[in-house]
A = this chain, B = another copy of it.
Amino acid sequence: MTITLYDLAGAEDDRRFSPFCWRAKMALAHKSLPVEEVPWRFTEKDVIEFTEQGRVPVIVDGGNSGKAVWDSWAIAEYLDDAYPENLLFTEQSGKASTYFLKCWVERVVHPGIVRQVLMDIHNHLHEKDKDYFRTSREKVFGMALEDVVASAEESLPQFRASLEPMRAVLGRYAFMGGDEPAFADHIAFGPFAWARAISERKLLEAEDPIFAWRERMLDLYGGYARSSPGYES
């Protein structure tokens, strides 16, 4: 029985860029579970209406009476409960302190990357999503998409410096979760997979330990993330 994953897609069906979906995709790959990935666009709210909310990732577990779970954190908790092999929350990377990492990633890494690639996201969207995206994001930022990324180049050093706590961990451990990958890695990798899918911008310098970790993440699970369309930098 297969798990169906509704996964945000761009103009092409196989261009997948949501950092939250990437968490779920990597978590499913971590457990070697059979998955059918369904490309989904922002404006297809009706397709996931059964969740009574409008966001992906959503999974429907055919192996568990078609149980539906949404929100990437809830999906990880569900997967560890339903499929306890290859845990996502590990002895080295428990739930509460992984939750701290999640909060940091969402408040530091996601906004930092948005300032670099927001126009690239827009340019890779399906035509039917572009108006929705521009309108909703310009409301959030209070300015035109073009203005959000106007200082991308000059803010890049500050973005790289903001990653210092992550860099320090990767100076000690191979993965954010410790000696082995864990959900902590999927969370931290999400925004880099997101940027890779839609932007040529070189976010990390090649000698950065975070760059080497990102390479390891791309290679994990038989090169699962690397096989997804994106730009190499």
**Which residues of A does B touch, CB under 8 Å?**
90-101, 103-104, 107-108, 164-166, 168-169, 172-173, 175-179, 182, 184
Contacts and interface: CB of A to CB of B under 8 A. Distances in A.
Contacts of A175: 96
Contacts of A99: 169, 172-173
Contacts of A176: 96-97, 100
A98 B179 CA distance: 14
16 contacts: A91-B91, A93-B94, A94-B97, A96-B169, A96-B176, A96-B179, A99-B172, A100-B100, A100-B101, A100-B169, A100-B184, A103-B165, A103-B169, A104-B165, A107-B164, A107-B168
B92 A93 contact: no
A interface, over-half SS: helix
A207 to B, nearest CB: 19
Contact of A165 (B96, B100, B168, B177): B100
A184 B96 contact: yes
A166 B176 CA distance: 18
Given A108-B165, A165-B107, A96 B92 contact: yes
A179 B103 CA distance: 17
Copies of this protein, total = 2
A130 to B, nearest CB: 31
Nearest to A98: B97
Nearest to A104: B165
Contact of A168 (B93, B94, B98, B103): B103
Point out which of A93, A100, A165 has the most chain B C-beta atoms below 10 A from its C-beta.
A100
Contacts of A178: 94-97
Given A91-B94, A100-B165, 9 more contacts: A95-B178, A96-B169, A97-B100, A97-B177, A100-B166, A100-B184, A103-B165, A107-B164, A107-B165
A101 B165 CA distance: 8
A212 to B, nearest CB: 17
A175 B99 CA distance: 12
A159 to B, nearest CB: 15
Contacts of A91: 91, 94
